[in-house]
Amino acid sequence: MFYLCTTNFCSKSVQNQNIYILAIESSCDDTSAAVLCNDEVLSNIVATQKIHEEYGGVIPELASRAHQQHIVPVVHQALAKANIDKKQLSAIAFTRGPGLLGSLLVGTSFAKSLSLGLGIPLIEVNHMEAHILSHYIREKGIKRPEFPFLAMTISGGHTQIVLVRDYFHMEVLGQTLDDAVGEAFDKSAKLLGLTYPGGPLIDLYSKEGNPKAYPFPKPKVDGLNFSFSGLKTSILYFIKREAAKDPQFVQDNIKDICASIQYTITEILMDKLKKAVKQTGIKQIAIGGGVSANSGIRNALAMAEKELGWKTFIPRFEYCTDNAAMIGIVGYYKYLKGDFSDPSVTALARYQLGGNSRVRNIKKD
C-alpha cells in the first residue's frame, strides 16, 4: 500500500458558509478518501493495492478485504491532512457504483454508518459522473471546460464518450461493447509477457518503436461504440504466428510491437472522437481515466488542437485515476442542490450513467 496526497487551502465560500465534504471511493482496487472545502481539494489520499500485481489483474475478493483494512486509516489521514475535524463535515459522499460489488460495499457501508453517526447528509455518487466532473475541481491556473463539452473516460474499467450538457445532464453517446481500453493495453501487454498493469510499459516501449511496423486491424463498430476484444485476439494470433517462425520474435521486436499496438488503440479512440465532434459540433474535449496518461493519446490530442481547432482538457494525473476527490466534487454540486440519499441506499455493481432520473443514455448512429 502507498499513499499519495495533496493539500490546498480553501479560498472560496458559498453564501459565506464553507461546505466540507468527506468523500470515499472504493469501486475497484484503490481505497481513497478526500476532504473538499466547496470545490477545492484539501486532501486526497489513495491507498493502492499492490497485491493484485502478482495475479496479473484485480482479484475481487482480495480487493474487498484490502478495502476493509485500508478504509479507516485512509479516512483518518484525509481528515488529518485537511486539518478538519469530523464534526465540521457538512456531508459524506461515496461511490455507489459502478464497480466491484464487494469493494463498493465497504465504502458504502462506511459512508452510511459515518453519516448516521454524525447526523449529516449522505450523498451517493456515480463513479462515471465523477470522472467527468473531476474537471471541475478548482485549482490555480487550471482551466475548466465550459458546457456543453464531450468527455471521454478511458481507464482499466471504462471507455465512454459522453455529451455533458451541464453538471447533471449527460448523454452517453458511445461506450465499449466488451473490453475497456485499459484492459486492451493490459491484456496485450500480458500476451507480450509484460507485468501488470502493462499499459504504462507499452507506452514506455512505444517511445522507441515504429508505430507502423505491424498494422493491426481496427474494429468495425457502428456509431460511437467501441470494441477491443478483436484487437486482443488479432495480437494473440500475430504473436503465435511470428513466434512459430522465430521464438525470439517478441523479445527482439518488443518496441515496434508496442508502438504498433499503441498506435492502433490511439487511432481507434481518435476516430470515434472525430466522429463525435462531427455529430455534435462540439470541439471541447475533456479526457479522464488512467489511460489518459498515455503519451500516444496525448500527442494525438495535441495534434487535434493544432490541426482541428479542438480545445482539450486533461486533469492532473492524480484526478485521472480512481480517487475520492472526484467523488467529492460531485458531492459538492449535489449538496448545493440538496440531492441527498436515503440511509437505505445500497451499492450497485452496474450503475449506468443515466441510472438516475436526471441523466439519460441515447444511441446515435
| One-letter amino acid of 289 | G
Report d(CA 254, CA 199) in Å as an integer: 14
Of ligand KG4, Zn ion, none, which one does residue 214 interact with (CB within 5 to 8 Å by kind)?
Answer: none
Q: Is 321 in the site for ligand KG4 (CB under 6 A)?
A: yes
Kindly tell me which of 75 and 154 has the beta carbon lying closer to ligand KG4. Answer: 154
How far is C-alpha 125 from the geometric centre of its chain's CA atoms?
14
| One-letter amino acid of 134 | S
Of Zn ion, ligand KG4, none, which one does residue 331 interact with (CB within 5 to 8 Å by kind)?
Answer: none
Grid cell at residue 300: 494525438
Binding-site member from 322, 324, 333, 354 for ligand KG4 (CB under 6 A): 322
Binding-site member from 289, 328, 331, 354 for ligand KG4 (CB under 6 A): 289
Kindly tell me which of 115 and 323 has the beta carbon lying closer to ligand KG4. Answer: 323
* Residues 153-172 as x/- pattern, contact with ligand KG4 by CB under 6 A: --xxx---------------
Question: Which single residue is written with the C-alpha cell 449538496?
Answer: 335
Helix %, strand %, coil % of the chain (to 5)? 45, 20, 35
CA distances from 63 to 27, 30, 149, 295 (A): 9, 8, 34, 29
Give, to the nearest 10 degrees, the angle between helix 229-245 and helix 181-191: 10
Contact 336, 308 (CB under 8 A): no
Identify the helix (H) or strand (E) that includes residue 243.
Answer: helix 229-245
Residue 281 Cβ, how far from ligand KG4 at the closest point, in Å?
29
Kindly tell me which of 290 and 354 has the beta carbon lying closer to ligand KG4. Answer: 290
Q: Which residue is nearest to Zn ion (CB)?
A: 322
* Residues 190-229 as x/- pattern, contact with ligand KG4 by CB under 6 A: -------x-xx--x--------------------------
User: What's 39's DSSP letter?
Assistant: T
Residue 127 Cβ, how far from ligand KG4 at the closest point, in Å?
8
- Which positions touch ligand KG4 (CB under 6 A)? 28, 155-157, 182, 185-186, 197, 199-200, 203, 289-291, 293-294, 321-322
